[in-house]
Structure 1
Amino acid sequence: MNGTANPSPIEDLTEVLATVADLVAGVRHDQWRDTTPCPEWEVRDLVNHMVIGHRLFTGILRGEAAAAPGALDPKADDMLGDDPGAAYRGATEELLAAFRRPGVLEQVFRVPAGDVPGVAAVHLRAVEDLVHGWDLARATGRKPRFPDEIVERELEFTRAKLADVPPEQAPFAPPQPVPDHAPPLDRLAALLGRRVTPQQWGGALSGC
């Protein structure tokens, strides 16, 4: 043992969001209308969904918003404008600032998945962007650079909490088979409904 403590969930979330921000910044102009592993969502819809989610959670943490049905529908409101990269970065900066407010991690909030303490909400946002980062990378032909140790921590969290989420509130499709030797991100993607095979990346069931 080296006595080094594990990073905090907020530190992990910060790194996940920075990695997704790089993926968003790298989307070419001609890729925004490409299809994604999420049925019925194009690349722009997917990024818009992530921005909407970050802004919704920020509002919930501040006591300024509620988790209303359909609040995460990316086709209901365009949050990206003319600069999707800036919109994504701005939303993540506000989210992280909201999570860092004193006492937030110990409070209980009603989010789309139910009532959770703030620290669980941090994990939920990390898992959300890990998996949608996977979706975005597959849609744009890139490889996400999420550290395996962060993904493993979120895999552990997801396995422990998934059974507690009512089926009607589950934000992802049912788990899909994946080889035990698959990378952690592919195992997380499969756990949350993506089809992952050794021969072909991409593809998913509904439930994004």
Structure 2
Amino acid sequence: MSVLVPPEKGETMNPVDDLAAVLDSTSALVAGVSRWDAPTPCPEWTVRELVNHLVLGHRLFTAVLHGEECGSLDPRTSDALGADPVAAYRDAVRGLVSAFRQPGVLERVFEVPAGTVPGIAAVHLRIVEELAHGWDLARATGQEPKFEDALVEREIAFSTAKLADLPAERNPFAPPVPVAEDAPPLDRLVALLGRSPS
């Protein structure tokens, strides 16, 4: 089963490279946080709790990809950030990218919170999660997210195709909200995932 949007002629795409690029951009947002208790577009989370959620998600996927038990990853009861949230985030990012770069991972099948998926789909799930929460983080901290438009467009195509396949009880996103067709790609993606860009 292929979940990749076909590349443009002459272009090769590695979704793990896309993931690494998105994580690098979000790392810059995390490093730019000045107020960790600020509210976010996710009403139940502060900035710190949002970043904690991302780190726990990265660790969960890293454990799954290594065939390990992941333990408690409830962001309400697990603090993965400690005294240095930026270092904790970067450490989780390194582990996640390394896990996805293992030989054969993209062809194997894994049980993740969204269900049983091939590794290639798991990469896209992490990219979409990171793009959405990167947008949340940027909004909460007054920063400008720097995600490549072409990359975001690929994840819009992935999300449009795959959200319909998720059972309602496993869909982590709200229903889509209206957005202008000519809106920037990141605004269109977050609107697809139930956030209001305005």
The bucket for the TM-score relative to the shorter chain is: over 0.9
Query: How many pairs were matched up?
Result: 191
Superposed counterparts of 1:7-86, under 5 Å: 7-28=13-34, 31-65=35-69, 72-86=73-87
Superposed counterparts of 1:174-189, under 5 Å: 174-189=175-190
TM-superposed CA distance for 1:3, in Å, is: 5.3
Is the contact made by 1:177 and 1:196 (CA closer than 8 Å) also made in structure 2? no
Superposed counterparts of 1:1-208, under 5 Å: 4-28=10-34, 31-65=35-69, 72-197=73-198
Pair 1:131–1:72, CA change in 2 (3 A): farther
Moved more, 175-184 or 126-135: 175-184
Identity of aligned residues (%): 61
TM-superposed CA distance for 1:5, in Å, is: 1.9
In 2, Cα distance between the equivalents of 1:96 and 1:40?
28
CA deviation vs aligned residue, 1:105-156 (integer Å, no higher than 9, x gap): 0000000000000010000000000000000000001110000000000110
TM-score by length of 2: 0.93
In 1, Cα distance between the equivalents of 2:90 and 2:170?
27
Pair 1:72–1:177, CA change in 2 (3 A): farther
CA deviation vs aligned residue, 1:33-65 (integer Å, no higher than 9, x gap): 010000110000000000000000000011102
Give ranges in structure 1 of 5+ residues lacking alignment. Answer: 198-208
SS at match of 2:20: helix
In 2, Cα distance between the equivalents of 1:147 and 1:20?
12
Q: Any runs of at least 4 consecutive aligned residues in structure 1 with deviations exceeding 3 A, and if so which?
A: none
Moved more, 50-59 or 74-83: 74-83
CA RMSD of aligned residues (A): 1.4
Give ranges in structure 2 of 5+ residues lacking alignment. Answer: 1-7
TM-score by length of 1: 0.88
